[in-house]
Chain A
Amino acid sequence: MTAKLRSDPAFADPDAFYQLLIEAHDGLNEQQSAMVNAKLILIFANHIGDLDVIREALAAAKAGV
């Protein structure tokens, strides 16, 4: 199976993305952060809309855990 999941750098400004992600959690407690992350995953997953990509991403995320 050829990989569909993109793993080369996609952001023109990776530091800006990372900052956005971290700042989104500013002032949230653990529970609120978890909820934001869960919603984010659902929103991203729907945007991707491709189970093959999502399967690969899940496997990549679970590797080593």
Chain B
Amino acid sequence: MATVTPHAAPVYPYRRSADQDGGVARRKVVVVGAGPVGLTAALGLSRHGIPAVVIDDDDTVSVGSRAICYAKRTLEIWDRLGTASPLMAKGVTWNIGKVFFGRDPVFAFDLLPERGHQFPAFINLQQYYLEEALVDAAARSAGVELRWRNRLTGIAPARDGARLTIDTPEGPYELDADWVIACDGARSATRRLLGLDFKGKVFEDRFLIADVKMRAAFPSERWFWFEPPFHDGGSALLHKQADDVWRIDLQLGWDADPELEKKPERVVPRLRAMLGPDARFDLEWVSVYTFQCRRLDRFRHGRVIFAGDAAHQVSPFGARGANSGVQDVDNLTWKLAMVSAGTAPDTLLDSYDSERVEAADENILNSTRATDFITPKGAASRLFRDATLALARSAPFARRLVNSGRLSVPAVHRGSPLSTPDRDAFGPSPAPGTVAADAPVVRDGAAGWLLSALGGQFVALIFADGPVTGAAAAALRSLAHAPAPVRVVFVAPRSVVAPDGAALCIDADGLAAQRYDARPGTVYLVRPDQIVAARWRSFDIAAVVAALARAAGR
């Protein structure tokens, strides 16, 4: 009889900290939860020179079937934090999704139809491998201290921080923090201890999720079936992960018995029907899930700031959970660094709240729409779903209505208080509030990428076709000494003389200029999280300084 053989996870031992030795120690930032989001927060803070203590109630990585798909934007963030390469090496790259109705393909999409990007639309990788890589990176990072088997059991917020009560195998201790970042997941203890509501909706459906080890010839694409011939009545999803492990989701319906459906003797025949009678596979993990979409009203509660699943939860159709959580903390860490250094007002952190609530609403909207299509909530919605699928066989418009999940893309913060509205006209290109676009460039004689050249601080990205000298060069040099220092990055079709201290990116293919709809003289001001703050057709130091002040919350 088949059994379930889980992945052998690392164990991170509990170690006593000097903070447990009496007296209440004070730390700048305590991150609650060493999941993907908490670990990324700590890595980000470290890059901004802010030390962080990360506490986690467990001593290992994520167990079981959880996130597998990480989006281009998330990979770009991890690359900036120095941890994308092990993920790329281990993960399975994909760009193509296919949707089937019955036996027939009805719709295919390419999530990255153009060349010239460092990262693919997605990689698939088991969440335990992701967390292992992030733990390794955190352990190597200056100022990050990981404390395993440290469980948050109490929190008393104050004007200048919070006092935490933390339980350990050796008993509890108290710790003061100037700032707390709550990344303790969907069942967040921080949220519960503060008595905060987590409102939203539960979808009345159950999904069998199996991670199966097998050698199979399916391509590295996302395949989704509505009413497949092999699974009566429900939908199915197939995805390739690392180490020949495949993720299979089968929709079971609300009436399914989760305990019964998890039993290998129930699971194996379902998988045989899908994979064929001769398929040889082993079960790595099986679970039955119900999905929900909900969020906190506000993500910022004074000095306690929520991120990731602790702040918002979505159904997995669209891979918007971990991806949005990583994007939360990328939005947060630079703001927290500036506020705690006194170079920006405290209200800068309110823009974390407004921007990431906006992003969460967008993710919840997309995820709710997909789940409503996959799990129609009544007879009328089922009828329209089936009619859409039937039409999709022949009518191109109906293919666009088929929704098996709209996959994670970064939110656009159209009305962000940090953005300076456009004064000049631009064609299709990243408007203020949008993540800056990547493009292949040559730096110091080597092939590289524009987003890596931008790095993680404020950048004035200047498109030029000749040397920059005189007053403009002097003005640019002054930006390095602004309260929020600005790095200057030139993009030019060929080598030009750039002022001292400025980086030069050669845009030989013209892709950067094209993606930014840039002409010589075009300037983009980019935030440390690589979101465009402002842009102009010509360089005007006063405008740049004003936009910079606004982007820093002043």
Contacts of A39 in B (CB 8 A): 387, 390-391
Q: Is the CB of B384 within 8 A of A42?
A: yes
Contacts of A38 in B (CB 8 A): 383-384, 386-387
Q: Is the CB of B386 within 8 A of A35?
A: yes
A43 sits at the interface (CB 8 A): yes
Contacts of B384 in A (CB 8 A): 38, 41-42
B residues 394-418 in Cβ contact with A at 8 Å: 395, 397-398, 401
CB-CB under 8 A for A34 and B395, given A39-B390, A42-B401: no
Interface centre among A38, A43, A46 (most CB of B within 10 A): A38
B74 sits at the interface (CB 8 A): no
B315 sits at the interface (CB 8 A): no
A64 CB to nearest B CB, Å: 18
Q: Is the CB of A46 within 8 A of B397?
A: yes
Contacts of B391 in A (CB 8 A): 39, 42-43
Contacts of A46 in B (CB 8 A): 395, 397-398
B333 sits at the interface (CB 8 A): no
B residues 344-392 in Cβ contact with A at 8 Å: 383-384, 386-388, 390-391
Give the CA-CA distance A41 to B401 in the complex, in Å: 13
Contacts of B387 in A (CB 8 A): 35, 38-39, 41-42
A residues 12-65 in Cβ contact with B at 8 Å: 34-35, 38-39, 41-43, 46
Give the CA-CA distance A38 to B397 in the complex, in Å: 15
Interface centre among B383, B387, B390, B398 (most CB of A within 10 A): B387
Contacts of A35 in B (CB 8 A): 383, 386-387, 390
A42 CB to nearest B CB, Å: 6
Contacts of B383 in A (CB 8 A): 34-35, 38
Give the CA-CA distance A42 to B392 in the complex, in Å: 11
Contacts of B398 in A (CB 8 A): 42, 46
Contacts of B401 in A (CB 8 A): 42
Give the CA-CA distance A1 to B154 in the complex, in Å: 53
Give the CA-CA distance A34 to B383 in the complex, in Å: 8
Contacts of B386 in A (CB 8 A): 35, 38
Contacts of A42 in B (CB 8 A): 384, 387-388, 391, 398, 401
Query: Which A residue's beta carbon lies closest to that of B395?
Result: A43
Query: Which A residue's beta carbon lies closest to that of B385?
Result: A38
Give the CA-CA distance A3 to B43 in the complex, in Å: 54
Give the CA-CA distance A30 to B400 in the complex, in Å: 28
Give the CA-CA distance A39 to B398 in the complex, in Å: 10
Give the CA-CA distance A54 to B42 in the complex, in Å: 48
B65 CB to nearest A CB, Å: 35
Give the CA-CA distance A34 to B387 in the complex, in Å: 9
B376 CB to nearest A CB, Å: 12
B402 CB to nearest A CB, Å: 11
B394 CB to nearest A CB, Å: 11
Query: Which A residue's beta carbon lies closest to that of B388?
Result: A42
Query: Which B residue's beta carbon lies closest to that of A31?
Result: B383
Give the CA-CA distance A39 to B390 in the complex, in Å: 8
Give the CA-CA distance A42 to B380 in the complex, in Å: 13
Give the CA-CA distance A41 to B388 in the complex, in Å: 10
Query: Which A residue's beta carbon lies closest to that of B396?
Result: A46
Query: Which B residue's beta carbon lies closest to that of A35?
Result: B387
B387 CB to nearest A CB, Å: 4
Can you list, as one digit per residue, whether each of B237-251 has a CB less than 8 Å from chain A (1) or not (0)?
A: 000000000000000
Interface centre among B383, B390, B398 (most CB of A within 10 A): B383
Give the CA-CA distance A43 to B390 in the complex, in Å: 12
Give the CA-CA distance A53 to B386 in the complex, in Å: 24
8 examples of A-B residue contacts, CB within 8 angstroms: A34-B383, A35-B383, A38-B384, A38-B387, A39-B387, A39-B391, A42-B388, A46-B395
Binding site for B on A (CB under 8 A): 34-35, 38-39, 41-43, 46
The 10 nearest A-B residue pairs measured at CB: A38-B387, A46-B397, A39-B387, A38-B383, A38-B384, A39-B391, A34-B383, A42-B387, A35-B387, A42-B391
Q: A42-B387, A43-B391 are in contact. List 6 more A-B contacts (CB 8 A).
A: A34-B383, A38-B386, A42-B384, A42-B388, A42-B401, A46-B397
